[in-house]
Amino acid sequence: MRVTDSDVDFADLSLALPFAARIHGLQGQLVGLSNKPGGAAQLELQGQVDEYGLSRAAGQINLFDPAAFTDIRVIFQNVEMTRLTPYSATFAGRKIASGKLSLDLQYKVKGRQLQGDNQVVMEQLTLGERVDSPNATNLPLDLAIAILQDEHGKIDLGLPVSGSLDDPQFSLGGIVWKAIVNVLTRVVTAPFRALGALFGGGGDEQTAKVAFDPGDTELLPPEREKIKKLAQAVAKRPRLSLGVHAAWDPRADGNALKDRSLRRTLAAQMGREVAASEEVGPVSTADPKAREAIETLYRNRFGSAALRQLEGKFAQANPGAPPADAAGRLVSRLANLFKGTPPPLSAEESAQLAGADLHARLLERLRDAEPLSDDQLRALGAARAQAISRELVADGVAAERIALEAPSAADGKATISLGAVLKEEQKPPPSATATAAGPRPLKGGVALPQ
């Protein structure tokens, strides 16, 4: 049978928006037509979809019982995706604003069981407004598309499908679109893992976390490598944006900032000159000059009586002959500073002071009392966000694709989130209250204390 200048009409009325399409200019041949049981015809057909789309089909089919045997490869090229809005509306809850679709479909049916392999290529896909559909998933699909689209705006998916033709819910178009939605779901529920998989990495959701040393803003080498890999992937996904939310740990970062400030004060007390950009270094309680500076600072901040009281408790918690070391001689000297019998120690105080380093205890109390403002902690978080942003820019991400959120108290790790850069036709009107793209930019800033 020769087919020339023919049309094929197709309609699917089961969708939220009814779908209809026409292949026109169809031509080709079917060879071996027969109503003999088990007989299969060879076919080669080619037609046109809309003005510039192409459709081809080749393979074998039992035209008198296609559910018994079909083995056909079907190709669609350059099909306008706006026509497929009924499917995207039904299964994704969104219209299609623009895009081109190419399909390479290999379908085999035997005994009413379908095994199919779909190679789906979507170019410059842009989603439009939302559509109410009871079967649609509520997912951030713009983000999924931004992750899947390469630098040329192409999404290339391999989607195996299967099903029984006897299933009352069976729909070939539905199977394909459900498979697409399943891929999008996996992408948006684990975006960093999906991004890493696209570029041959073993990325996981920990890629979103950037760790810092307590009280510090410098990126550690392992974190810089993590950011570089992320930046390289994002640079190849032009519709991806990044949000950076830095944080501080009130306890760990707070103690580190207090300790740094206290070391600088002690250095000044000891007559050491330390540049603003220089680390002071640790304090050695074995150094007589350091011990004297610690005692002087403690006396100045809490009073002589408070120092004598702590020294007395320390002497009670460490009775007996002193060992032959500096700390022991110190205890022996302190034992003669008190007249009368001091009040007995509680079990908790005795456990804390027995065998301890007195000057280390003085340092701990000085550190705990060191002033620290919320502005200093916020400045630490802001500086961490800026450090991540600078590293991302240095690794190739455009600065306008990075948004900084105001930092907050958390576990001290910064979080990098993925967002979608929306095209003009996707952006809400200026009066809309919903935010379209990502985190708020960080405004202002407080200088990080030295």
Question: What is the CA 89 to chain-centroid distance, rounded?
Answer: 27
For residue 436, give both structure tokens.
């379209």
CA torsion through residues 45, 101, 185, 169, sign: negative
All residue ranges of the chain with pLDDT < 70 are 15-18, 168-177, 198-207, 320-343, 345, 355, 423-450
Q: Are 57 and 71 in contact (CB under 8 A)?
A: no
What pLDDT, on a 0 to 100 scale, did the predictor assign at position 363?
A: 85
What pLDDT, on a 0 to 100 scale, did the predictor assign at position 71?
A: 93
Q: Are 374 and 213 in contact (CB under 8 A)?
A: no
What pLDDT, on a 0 to 100 scale, did the predictor assign at position 6?
A: 95
b/e 384-398 (16+ beta carbons within 10 angstroms → b): bbbbbbebbeebebe
What domains, with CATH codes, occur in the chain? Answer: 2-189 (no CATH), 203-250+375-426 (3.30.1330.60), 254-372 (no CATH)
Concatenating the DSSP letter of every residue in 40-101 gives -EEEEEEEEETTTEEEEEEEEE-TT-TTTEEEEEEEEEEEEGGGGHHHHHHHHSEEEEEEEE
What pLDDT, on a 0 to 100 scale, did the predictor assign at position 260?
A: 87
Q: For 116-162, write each residue's pLDDT tens digit.
A: 888 889 899 888 888 888 777 777 888 888 888 888 889 888 877 77
Q: For 308-332, write each residue's pLDDT tens digit.
A: 887 787 777 777 534 434 443 343 3
Q: Are 161 and 174 in contact (CB under 8 A)?
A: no
Q: If we measure between CA atoms, which residue out of 217, 236, 152, 198 comes closest to residue 390?
A: 217
Q: If we measure between CA atoms, which residue out of 311, 312, 293, 317 comes closest to residue 366?
A: 293
